[in-house]
Amino acid sequence: MSAYRLYLLVSGVGSFASRTAFTLNLIYQATVVGLSPLQLVLVGTLMEAVCFVAQVPTGVIADRYSRRLSVIAGYLLMGVGLLVWGLFPSYAAILVANVVWAIGAVCVDGAEEAWAADEIEPERVTRAFVRGGQVSQAGALAGIVAAVGLTAIEPALPIVVGAVVTLALAVLLIALMTEDRWSPATKREKVSSQLSAVRGNVVLVAILGGTLFAGMSSEGFDRLSQPFLIPFVGGHPVELVFGGLAIVAALGSIVVTGLAGRWIDVVRPQRVGRVLAVVQALTAAGMIGLGLAGHWWSAVGLYLAVRLLRDTAGPILNVWLVSATAPESRATVFSIVSQADALGQVAGGPPAGFVAQRRAIGAGISVAGLFVVPAVALYVLATASRPRELTKSR
């Protein structure tokens, strides 16, 4: 199987497994396990704290030894974490499962994108990330349907099924994944020099700062938006309502990502940055408005808009990073960006959770939306700088 097709397969299957496990996971934690709003946020904060600590070491390992090995180990760990999560419905078990899952996630994060950027033909890299984003959203759509159906049988079953699919994907990658166009960094100084280049690159510094602030908003929205909407549901089945909303958001994301793909390319980084700035500006407005919404239709409309925009932002950011990084340190730089996201979530989650606990859940979501505003400013700053020349090796 070609690297291009394998990347699409991993994007689809990985997203299916993740969305199956996580679509109704917050409902499961809030209603079955009985976690409070603050505990819900703290679960995510622990996850992101582990991600923050592990990001750079795993990125350096991927750049120095094997991206293939890092990706396979990551999916194995994520599968084990989800199994613990689904089989032991207690706060302590969920915390332990989060640690295991997070270590696996950071092994995959950065290494998977760097592997794709190196193994796929240069002229198909942008298309791979855009199509990968769409396939990921299609897999998410199927995962949402699966989660709703499985929850009707047993609330923990979607998490267990997601774990099994994740482990099966790891086994499949052992058989199909190759690493032919990349050679590991032979000296530690080689990676260190590239990390030094990050500090001197206005675009990468702005991306890191923007990712930090965008990450600060993530926990507030991810952990509080569904509990915020529950009172609007009334007597309707919660699983069906949120499953339907997730399906609509996934379908919309497929369309919007495809439209964005017509405007972005690795050889036009400034245009990519402008598109991402617009997406994040709309995200900030949507989150602030959602926290203030007092009616079903306004709340649902803003909730769907924010989910759609956030799903679209990921592939756009990946294309921008590929255009701004050298192949030999790409996994490390991706990991540093992910570390900035994790640090932002660690820093931004507790304040949003505290406001939600003391004031109202909607207030916590609006505070989270305010965190995105500096990210927009930094992305605009990055697009105003002179475009970085593409590396000759790409």
Confidence (pLDDT) at 46: 83
Count: domains in the chain: 1
- The pLDDT of residue 390 is 38
Report CA torsion sign: 259, 263, 269, 275. negative
Nearest CA-CA partner of 102 in 158, 46, 63, 156: 46
Q: Is residue 54 one of the residues assigned to a domain? A: yes
Nearest partner of 276 among 355, 214, 197, judged by Cα: 214
For residue 390, being part of any structural domain is answered with: no
Q: State pTM to two decimals.
A: 0.68
**C-alpha 179, offset from chain centre:** 24
Task: Say how far apart CA 188 and CA 179 lie, in whole Å.
Answer: 21
Question: Residue 175, exposed/middle/buried by CB under 10 A (0-12, 13-18, 19+)?
Answer: exposed
- Give backbone dihedrals phi and psi of 385, rounded to 5 degrees, phi first: -80, 165
**Residue 61 forms part of a structural domain:** yes
Per-residue model confidence as pLDDT tens digits over 214-255: 888 887 888 788 778 877 776 677 777 877 887 888 788 778
Query: Is residue 293 within 8 Å of 80, Cβ to Cβ?
Result: no
Write b or e for each residue in 272-289: b if 16 or more Cβ atoms lie within 10 A of its Cβ, otherwise e.
bbbbbbbbbbbbbbbbbb
Residue 329: closest CA among 216, 190, 212: 190
Write down the pLDDT at residue 385: 62
d(CA 228, CA 243): 16
Task: Give residue 343's domain range.
Answer: 3-384
Nearest alpha-carbon partner for 89 in 138, 25, 142: 25
- Does residue 389 lie in a domain region? no
Residue 144 near residue 3 (C-beta atoms within 8 A) = no
Determine how many CB atoms are found less than 10 A away from the CB of residue 358.
Answer: 10
- CATH number of the domain that residue 357 is part of: 1.20.1250.20
- Taking alpha carbons only, the member of 189, 161, 154, 168 closest to residue 64 is 189
Q: Which residues of the chain are under the pLDDT cut of 50?
A: 187, 189, 387-394
Residue 89 domain-assigned?
yes
Q: Work out the widest C-alpha separation in the chain, in whole angstroms.
A: 62
Q: CB atoms < 10 A from the CB of 64, how many?
A: 17
> Do the domain assignments include residue 392?
no
Instruction: Give a yes or no: residue 327 inside a domain.
Output: yes
Instruction: Output the pLDDT for position 327.
Output: 64
Q: What one-character DSSP code corresponds to residue 328?
A: G
